[in-house]
Amino acid sequence: MRSEFAARVPTLWYGHDIAGQVITRLTADRETLMIVDSSLATRGASDCSARALEVDARSMTATAVGTIADEIVRRAPSVIVAVGGGSVLDATKIASLALAPGHIFEFAIERASRSALTFLPDAPPAVSIVAVPTTLGTSSETNSVSILKNDSGYRLIVGRSLRPRHAIIDPCNLMTLTPATVREGALEAFLRLAGASTSSRRSARGRRDAAALGGALLETASGDVNTAASRLRLARLSAATQRSAALRGQDPYSARHWYLANEVAFVLEVRKMVATAAVIAAVWRRVCSGDPRWGDRESLEEFWMSVVGRIALPLDPPAGIAALIDRWGIPTPPRPTAVEMRRISTATEAAWGNRYPMLAGLFADDFCDLLRDSYWSEGGE
């Protein structure tokens, strides 16, 4: 996902084994709270005497975010260092709203309990956040978007006050990722560009940036992803999707596959990209059939043709993306049961479809048809 808010982008620091020294520099003589994925131990941390809060990345629910917010308020820091994957960075960004005036944190949590999409009042961040990603693809370290998991599902919160002040990309923090996980992150960044490219309302510069970044992501992730250099390049390309014109346009909801995959992931309890791998080709088949509710056929085909030559994939976008997912070994979930398909479809219509601009004019029956046409692994019904 992406934000349309116009403001200064985070300062990006990148390089091999730089995280510790940059964190030390950015936190010197400042009250600092470090929020760290408990599975990472001290990776990405500095030698500063900051107090630390370890969190379980697997349990970043609204309740856990509230606990983080309580710790932030208990002794308000002037800088927060978040070390972890997208879920930890997102949780930290939301929890930091507890320091904002006007009960913005309470507003965000309450609104997200009722609505799939929450726009925050436009305001700068209440505290400086230094984001240190340890996974690839989410771009949470550079965007103004956070995902909150609550009882209703994965809810989207957008606002300039969520944007980190600094982002530190250090390949040393990425070296424990498996090649499959690296490619999964590269696919997430690539589909962010492809989703924006299903809209015809984009500038020439936006189209050029999307093609350049998309081609580079495909090429790099199709090579040797075991080196620090390749992982650093992929992480920088992912961050660049948010720092270029590639995602800018007059249709902020153009990545329509995201909304359905969001509900698939929640109901089936799988990772977002595993859910996406199941549905993306079916979504693109509808785009390429000329159904404007899912996107613009000419725009998607133009984007695909501009990147596909880098690694010799089928020229047809739906066939090409399916071949890429298979080549990169991205897993898909077992086929949902009929009951699960109906639950996913009903939730998608209620949260994003029908009268909402994200999936306007699409209803539960449309989503059921698409899910039946999607790519699932063996198992289920």
Asked if 353 and 359 touch (Cβ cutoff 8 Å), the reply is yes
If asked whether residues 150 and 285 sit together in one domain, one would say no
Q: What is the pLDDT of residue 74?
A: 94
According to DSSP, the residues that pair with 153 across neighbouring strands are 150
If asked whether residues 194 and 326 sit together in one domain, one would say yes
If asked whether residues 347 and 230 sit together in one domain, one would say yes
If asked whether residues 162 and 250 sit together in one domain, one would say no
Give buried/exposed letters for 104-131 (b at 16+ CB in 10 A, else e): bbeebbeebeeebbbebeeeebbbbbbb
If asked whether residues 219 and 165 sit together in one domain, one would say no
If asked whether residues 242 and 110 sit together in one domain, one would say no
CA-CA distances (angstroms) from residue 184 to 64, 78, 144, 323? Answer: 26, 34, 22, 14
Give buried/exposed letters for 183-221 (b at 16+ CB in 10 A, else e): bbbbbbbbbbbbbbbbbbebeeebbebbbbbbbbbbebb
CA-CA distances (angstroms) from residue 276 to 50, 258, 375? Answer: 38, 7, 10
Positions of the chain with pLDDT lower than 70, given as ranges: 1-8, 41-49, 379-381
Whether 238 is covered by a domain: the verdict is: yes
If asked whether residues 286 and 330 sit together in one domain, one would say yes
- Domain count within the chain: 2
The last residue of one of the domains, among 127, 144, 173, is 173
Give the pairing type, strands 79-84 and 153-158. unpaired
CA-CA distances (angstroms) from residue 259 to 129, 275, 289, 334, 381? Answer: 27, 11, 20, 19, 23
Q: What is the pLDDT of residue 49?
A: 66
If asked whether residues 132 and 238 sit together in one domain, one would say no
Whether 6 is covered by a domain: the verdict is: no
Q: What is the pLDDT of residue 339?
A: 98
Q: What is the pLDDT of residue 3?
A: 38
Q: What is the pLDDT of residue 2?
A: 40
If asked whether residues 160 and 233 sit together in one domain, one would say no
C-alpha torsion sign, points 325, 328, 329, 332? negative
**Owning domain of residue 335:** 183-380
The token duo for 138 is 């989410």
The last residue of one of the domains, among 173, 208, 238, is 173
Q: What is the pLDDT of residue 48?
A: 54
C-alpha torsion sign, points 346, 350, 354, 358? negative
Asked if 133 and 173 touch (Cβ cutoff 8 Å), the reply is yes
Whether 315 is covered by a domain: the verdict is: yes
Q: State the CATH number of the domain containing residue 315.
A: 1.20.1090.10
This prediction's pTM: 0.94
